[in-house]
Amino acid sequence: MQSDIEDQIKEAIDIIKRGGTVIYPTETVYGLGADAFSENAVQRVYKIKERDFSQPISIAVSSFGMLHKVAYIDSERSKILTELLPGPVTVLLRKKDIVSEVLTAASDIVGVRFPDNEIATRIIKETGPITATSANVSGRNPPTCVEEVEIKADIIINGGKCKYSMPSTVLDMSAWADEEEAIKIKEKIKRRGACYDRVLHILRSKIAAEGLHGFPVP
């Protein structure tokens, strides 16, 4: 079984590098992955999911260094992110130019996942950022095991049942003050998902410890 997984991981890495698509496990739900820096690959993801191009798609990274390459993160946000990630959280941040507007639906905000799943992070480490969108037709329930996957990709990696088996919590960290001023944190939880209580606890703890202002939480 282990050798099968190893072979699948190697094949998935090769497929993504060639512009293909991969269905891969995370700790939340199964994702549909492709090279996040290839517009053709991203368009394939939209087509497979039957997703409207007006709806953005998040990306997944495997390190904080990779996260800094795709999004703007100040020191205050970094302190919070190191507590939250890797984990079942999608963070909305201001994107850098390297991220295509095809992914963000012409917005300057990108959703970023740093999954707490060895299979996912091993793939991303070798390929660079990949798309992080659930492996389902848009509007349908996201799969939490390979048996629930209804769409097709170039390979499906069977990583068993997802740990949390529910979508990620979405945290908006994109708001900032005027560019001439220091960036202010104005976080807000946009979707209650996996580990919501832990995310909320970390946010409140940071507020108390750092004396952060303009930081509304539920």
pTM of the model: 0.90
- What lies within 8 Å, CB to CB, of 147 at 6+ separation is none
- List domains and CATH numbers for the chain: 2-210 (3.90.870.10)
Reported as a pLDDT band with limits 50, 70 and 90, residue 208 is: low
State residue 184's pLDDT score: 45
State residue 120's pLDDT score: 98
Helix (H, G, I), strand (E, B) or coil at 204: helix
SS3 content of the chain, % helix, strand, coil (to 5): 35, 15, 50
State residue 2's pLDDT score: 64
% of the chain beyond a pLDDT of 90: 80
Side-chain-side CA neighbours of residue 15 (13 Å) = 21
Helix (H, G, I), strand (E, B) or coil at 44: helix
- Let me know: does 131 contact 59? Beta carbons within 8 Å: yes
Question: Mean pLDDT throughout 102-108?
Answer: 96
State residue 173's pLDDT score: 92
- What lies within 8 Å, CB to CB, of 20 at 6+ separation is 34, 41, 44, 153, 154, 155
- State pLDDT tens for residues 114-148: 999 999 999 999 999 999 999 999 999 999 999 99
